[in-house]
A and B are shown apart, each in its own frame.
Chain A
Amino acid sequence: MPVEFDQDPKIQAYAHPERLVTTEWLAAHLDDPGLVVAESDEDVLLYDTGHIPGAVKIDWHADLNDPLTRDYVDADAFAALMSAKGIAPDTTIVFYGDQNNWWAAYALWVTSLFGHADVRLLDGGRKKWMDEGRPMTTEVPSPAPAGYPVTERDDSVIRAYREQVLAHIGNGKLVDVRSPGEYSGELLHMADYPQEGALRGGHIPTAANVPWRRAANEDDGTFLPADQLAAIYQDEIGLGTGDDVIAYCRIGERSSHTWFVLTHLLGFDNVRNYDGSWVEWGNAVRVPIEK
């Protein structure tokens, strides 16, 4: 039995309203059996300074990335992680985090690679919860191990590799979700962020540029309403819900956010996230680049 869905009218207007919850909804359902709240942040210490009561921490770097290969953890490690966090295959996971849910969306996307069924985001993330004066705690829960079965990661549906992106140019839609300066090649990295080692600047040919942050309200970090999202992605850059779309950014985290918007909020059927993104493309030999 999944935990009931949020009936909030704004959320019900999205294509898959079962993927998003409001802070009000979460406050009322925190103690529901079968629900685990997971915080994923850019700042690795932020959870430890205080988090939503009962929330576990899932760290994108230490928990979800393989320590050796540039890849995600394997099926055994993922099962062990879920189990340790008290998550079973039928658990409803509500992800939230800092920076407009940037890393929470990334954790949700990685969790989806392993086929976890019921994953949701908290609209507005950590900031909205705190701005509303809702409870926070530094108490770290110690959930009983949940016994998560080893499920193979399926990279074929929502993840794209470099070779696939190369073949996609001219045949499908590409969305570059980085800042305009990164897209144009003026910047090799985000403004105010360190250089991450791309040798070339620019974007993948044919990619449209929609910075990921445009999908969120500037004031409270919630997602724009469905009609405003459609105005950006469908009217402005001409994507259709049936199109074959690949999104990318720098290392695939910002584009997880856009993947969430297109797939779950607008109901696109076929969106993949190219997690190699510009750190791979901008260093690869002989791949085409446009400025």
Chain B
Amino acid sequence: MRDALHEIVEEFADTPKELRLPLLLDFANALPALPERLEDDRDSMEPVEECQAPLFLAVEVQPDEVRLFFDAPPEAPTSRGFASVLHQGLDGATPEEVLATPNDFYLSMGLDELVTPLRMRGMAGMLARVKRRVAEGMPAAS
């Protein structure tokens, strides 16, 4: 797992249970706004149906860097929080690092007692979509 993401997972796991939701809220508040080019072209973003609230993502794949963009409304802070974890953990990673992220990386964050399994699946849905976009965006092996 990429170091940046691993550190976030550890940070959640090391935080006392009652402070994990406030921590997730900090992440939700830290989710950056969309850059203007996407703000004007939201139709190009992919809806994440596994999330219980509207969430859209866009992935830009360069040979050595993946850029991630997420958009979710303020009334969906949990989805924003999950998106922000992925953003801080994987934005700027190489395509190989993104693809090497374990699909169940979030299980070690200690959020399962606080957030329903259904919601946690939103995180899996986001990661799966990011990985698929990255795989599609990589140059074909020659």
Contacts and interface: CB of A to CB of B under 8 A. Distances in A.
A194 interface: yes
Contact of A49 (B52, B74, B115, B119): B74
Given A49-B25, A67-B113, A43 B53 contact: yes
Nearest to B49: A192
Nearest to A194: B50
B114 A43 contact: no
Contacts, number: 54
A46 interface: yes
A220 interface: no
A212 to B, nearest CB: 16
Interface in B38-89: 47, 49-54, 74-79, 81
Interface string B98-129: 00000000000000011110110110010000
Given A67-B113, A194-B125, A43 B118 contact: no
B110 to A, nearest CB: 13
Contacts of B75: 43, 46, 98
B139 interface: no
Nearest to B76: A43
A42 interface: yes
B24 interface: yes
A192 B52 CA distance: 7
Contacts of B47: 192
A98 B79 CA distance: 15
Contacts of B54: 192
Interface string A180-193: 00000000000011
A123 to B, nearest CB: 19
Indicate the size class of the contact surface on chain B: 20 to 34
A45 interface: yes
A194 B53 contact: no
B77 A46 contact: yes
Interface residues of A, number: 15
A129 B31 CA distance: 26
A44 interface: yes
B134 interface: no
B43 to A, nearest CB: 17
B85 to A, nearest CB: 13
Interface in A18-63: 42-46, 48-49, 61-62
Interface string A201-219: 0000000000000000000
A133 B8 CA distance: 36
Given A49-B74, A49-B77, A194-B125, A42 B52 contact: yes
B28 interface: yes
Interface of A: 42-46, 48-49, 61-62, 67, 98, 192-194, 196
Question: 9 nearest interchain CB pairs?
Answer: A45-B77, A194-B50, A45-B78, A61-B116, A43-B78, A48-B25, A49-B77, A194-B121, A45-B25
Given A61-B114, A61-B116, 19 more contacts: A42-B53, A43-B76, A44-B78, A44-B114, A44-B116, A45-B21, A45-B77, A46-B75, A49-B28, A49-B74, A49-B77, A61-B115, A62-B113, A62-B114, A98-B75, A192-B54, A193-B49, A193-B52, A194-B121
